[in-house]
Amino acid sequence: MALELEINPIKHWLPQINNPLIIAGPCSLETEEQAMDTAKQLAKDHRVFVYRGGVWKPRTRPGSFEGIGSIGLKWLQMVREETGMPVGTEVANAQHAEEALKAGLDVLWIGARSTASPFVVQEIADVVRGTDAVVMVKNPVNPDVQLWVGAFERLSQAGIKNLVAIHRGFTPFRETEYRNYPNWKTVIELRRIMPNLPIICDPSHIGGKREYLYDISQKAFDMGMEGLMIESHRDPSCALSDKEQQLTPTDLAKLLDRLIIRNVKTDNKLFENQLELLRNRIDALDRELLETLSSRMEIARQIGQYKKENNVTAFQVGRFAELMEKRMKLGESLNLDRNLVQLLFQHIHEDSVRMQTEIMDKE
């Protein structure tokens, strides 16, 4: 069921926007000169609407550069005065939020580590309560959509209506080419639960390297996201944090030039009619799939009862391995993705075993 919170569209708090929301700036503010020079270069590109700069940098381990601290807020004020761009920074706790509000920053965002703690989110919500602050929330480090939704509920209960979600990827459980696994299905689920919530993508933290940023950004727009938060530094080779994932303002402009922005809908009636026909076919096929799955589960129930009568275990390793290999080969012959078939039959088999175990537990 969809969750209807009172959330303003981006244009409500950023009336000058006429394109997707592009937020850009250094991972970390390092010096006044670096902050101002990067901002002036970015301000020349009218597709960039908000300047971001990390002031406090929560690091995984101590010893790395952890941000310039509160002096960076003054530099952000100077950026806004000289360029006219709204400015924002990450707030990791209530004290940060208090200082950022006092400095008059336009945008605050809650990072992935902070989103993972309802205590921290609630403390920040208590600080911004009753203001017209723009608060963006990055996904938690693990793909827990309810934890993400809970952060928006806490902020909404504090009266915050200018809310935006930031998809920055999730901590991977295994080695991947990206720094953080995109797991796009979690974003799709958030959209289903909160259809009126603006969602933007942070390709910098997903990719971790410059060469991945274009593909991730295009994927985000293909999925209907409203913008990007992307890191840009005047000289990434000298950056004190995350140098490999930052672009120069010039390279950012080149990336934006290449992106194709998709329309969420169209006035083309012929397209809409044909799309509706295809969707109706999918609806019919989905019904057939569910009816077939129901028939399969009924047979699995009969097998469970038969196993119980003959004192045989519900789960049999050899059968499972054989089934998976045959199904994946069959899927490949039908031009289906191997991972899709594997995931599908893992879920089906797990539910069959669960059902058969329940049958055996009954007297």
Query: How far is the C-alpha of 102 from the C-alpha of 91, rounded, in Å?
Result: 13
Contacts of 4 (CB under 8 A, 6+ apart): 196
Q: Is 81 left (phi over 0), alpha (psi -120 to 50) or beta?
A: alpha
Query: Between β-strands 107-110 and 134-138, what pairing exists: parallel, antiparallel or unpaired?
Result: parallel
Query: How far is the C-alpha of 145 from the C-alpha of 242, rounded, in Å?
Result: 26
The structure tokens listed for 142 are 């693990």
Q: Are 91 and 108 in contact (CB under 8 A)?
A: yes
Q: Of 220, 357, 356, give the one whose Cα is nearest residue 297.
A: 356
Q: Write the DSSP assignment of 98-111 as a string of letters.
A: HHHHHTT-SEEEE-
Q: Of 128, 192, 202, give the one whose Cα is nearest residue 165.
A: 202
The structure tokens listed for 299 are 């047979």
Contacts of 127 (CB under 8 A, 6+ apart): 94, 97, 98, 101
Compute the CA torsion angle 59, 23, 13, 95 (nearest 10 deg). Answer: 20
Specify the pLDDT at position 363. 64
Determine the residue type at 78: M
Please give the DSSP secondary-structure letter assigned to residue 215.
Answer: H
Determine the residue type at 153: E
- Taken in order of first residue, the domains within the chain and their CATH numbers are 10-258 (3.20.20.70), 269-361 (1.20.59.10)
Query: How far is the C-alpha of 228 from the C-alpha of 187, rounded, in Å?
Result: 14
Q: What is the pLDDT along the chain (363 residues), one digit of tens a residue?
A: 678 899 999 999 999 998 999 999 999 999 999 999 999 999 999 999 999 999 998 767 777 787 899 999 999 999 999 999 999 999 999 999 999 999 999 999 999 999 999 999 999 999 999 999 999 999 999 999 999 999 999 999 999 999 999 999 999 877 788 999 999 999 999 999 999 999 999 999 999 999 999 999 999 999 999 999 999 999 999 999 999 999 999 999 999 999 999 877 778 888 888 889 999 999 999 999 999 999 999 999 999 999 888 998 888 888 888 989 999 999 999 999 998 999 999 999 999 989 999 998 886
Query: How far is the C-alpha of 242 from the C-alpha of 182, rounded, in Å?
Result: 18
Q: Of 329, 328, 303, give the one whose Cα is nearest residue 316.
A: 303
Determine the residue type at 90: E
The structure tokens listed for 127 are 């600080």
Contacts of 49 (CB under 8 A, 6+ apart): 14, 16, 17, 21, 22, 23, 85, 86
Query: Between β-strands 87-90 and 107-110, what pairing exists: parallel, antiparallel or unpaired?
Result: parallel
Specify the pLDDT at position 318. 85
Instruction: For residue 167, list its beta bridge partners.
Output: 201
In the chain, which ranges are continuous DSSP H helix? 10-13, 32-43, 71-83, 94-102, 112-115, 118-128, 145-157, 184-193, 203-207, 213-222, 249-258, 269-309, 317-333, 338-361
What's the whole-model pTM score?
A: 0.84
Specify the pLDDT at position 315. 84
Residue where the block lists tokens 């998976």? 324
Query: How far is the C-alpha of 225 from the C-alpha of 211, rounded, in Å?
Result: 21
